[in-house]
Structure 1
Amino acid sequence: MLHIMTSEPEQQIGVGTQDAFQRLWTPHRMAYIQGENKPTGPGAGDGCPFCAIPGKSDEDGLILARGRYVYAVLNLYPYTGGHLMVVPFRHVADYTDLDGPETAELAEYTKAAMVALRAASGAHGFNIGMNQGTVAGAGIAAHLHQHVVPRWGGDTNFMPVVGHTKVLPQLLADTRRMIAAAWPGA
């Protein structure tokens, strides 16, 4: 039996019993909380997921587009539907470590991501940025990545504010197909 909290006196609800959405389960977040797929060290050979992703198929890696120096990939733990990242193929930690062509392509892919997200989802705006270093909030500080987070009017509802939960209306594989199809030049 599952125990749920309600405003009513305590009650027991069996597995599969409707509970009027009093509880939302997000078990996939446990991998993120426990640090699964985080690098074990500073080098490219130390389990870096951003170094491993390009070796996968676009579908398996959730890759939206590949360039010469960078690729665009859906965030496995998104803030909103369509949250993606632009990642250099080269394993570098700091933005200042990118060379000129890498910096230029990262900027071009960020622009292309915005175009694709507007076409695919009608995004009204974007949060774009990168966290440099663990102290600045980088989840994987050893490999630079820039976040492109689509936003819509009224998209900040009670779930992230009160429930500390993000509600995504679409599976990541479906989101990947939709954005990849809208990618400029696709």
Structure 2
Amino acid sequence: MSSGDAHDTVHQDGVGRPDELDRLWTPHRMAYIRGENKPSDATAGTCPFCRVPALADDEGLVVHRGELAYAVLNLYPYSPGHLMVCPYRHIGDYTETTDEEAAEIADLTRAAMRTIRGASGAAGFNIGMNQGHIAGAGIAAHLHQHVVPRWPGDQNFMPIIGRTKTLPELLTDTRALLAQAWVE
């Protein structure tokens, strides 16, 4: 069994016995599992959410730029179109936002929902911020609000049993679609 193959026909269980289960290899997920590109502290210079705005939109997967915040696709999405709304300012807690930042984060979140719904027919959304590592924030040093589109039946056996998520298109294609369709 080669680790480079996307699909192998002969499989072995964890102790080397052959079994009849298919494997869907996702080696790109190791960067997320290992915590690569995660800031180890609150230093703005090491933060991916601080670096992204300096990149071209297609390179940084930026969908839309506002005055105080921006919308960017999640590199490790739960579903197609999963994006995050981030303030440009390097802050880690929602209570640190100015009234203007909080308002723009809310406005961009609503615009993201309208855009995703219009571009892909999403039937619902999970919206949220994980505040601090203990609450599940992957990058706690920089505030970000998740906008996760949902469709009927989108959480089938793959993530529940197979602990795998499937995405139907490349992130760059999703970014281009949502950037073009962005609704103010």
TM-score, with structure 1 as normaliser: 0.89
- 1:144 Cα deviation from its structure 2 partner: 0.3
The superposition leaves residues 123-163 of structure 1 with CA deviations (integer Å, 9 ceiling, x where unpaired) of 00000000000000000000000000000011110000001
Instruction: Provide the rounded CA distance (Å) in 2 between the counterparts of 1:91 and 1:10.
Output: 50
1:43 equivalent in structure 2: 43
Amino acid at match of 1:166: K
2:12 equivalent in structure 1: 5
- 1:181 Cα deviation from its structure 2 partner: 1.0
Instruction: State how 1:12-161 maps to structure 2 within 5 Å.
Output: 22-45=22-45, 47-161=46-160
- Matching of residue 184 in structure 1 with residue 166 in structure 2: no
Instruction: Provide the rounded CA distance (Å) in 2 between the counterparts of 1:69 and 1:79.
Output: 26
1:14 equivalent in structure 2: none
TM-score, with structure 2 as normaliser: 0.90
Of stretches 97-106 and 176-185 in structure 1, the one that deviates more from structure 2 is 176-185
Q: What's the % identity of the aligned pairs? A: 61
SS at match of 1:82: coil
Instruction: Provide the rounded CA distance (Å) in 1 between the counterparts of 2:64 and 2:160.
Output: 32
SS at match of 2:117: helix
Instruction: Provide the rounded CA distance (Å) in 2 between the counterparts of 1:23 and 1:153.
Output: 25
Amino acid at match of 2:138: G
SS at match of 1:72: strand
Q: What value does the CA root-mean-square deviation take over the aligned residues?
A: 1.6
Q: Which runs of 4+ in 1 moved over 3 A?
A: none
Aligned length: 174
Q: Which runs of 5+ in 1 are unaligned?
A: 12-18
SS at match of 1:28: helix
- 1:4 Cα deviation from its structure 2 partner: 1.4
SS at match of 1:177: helix
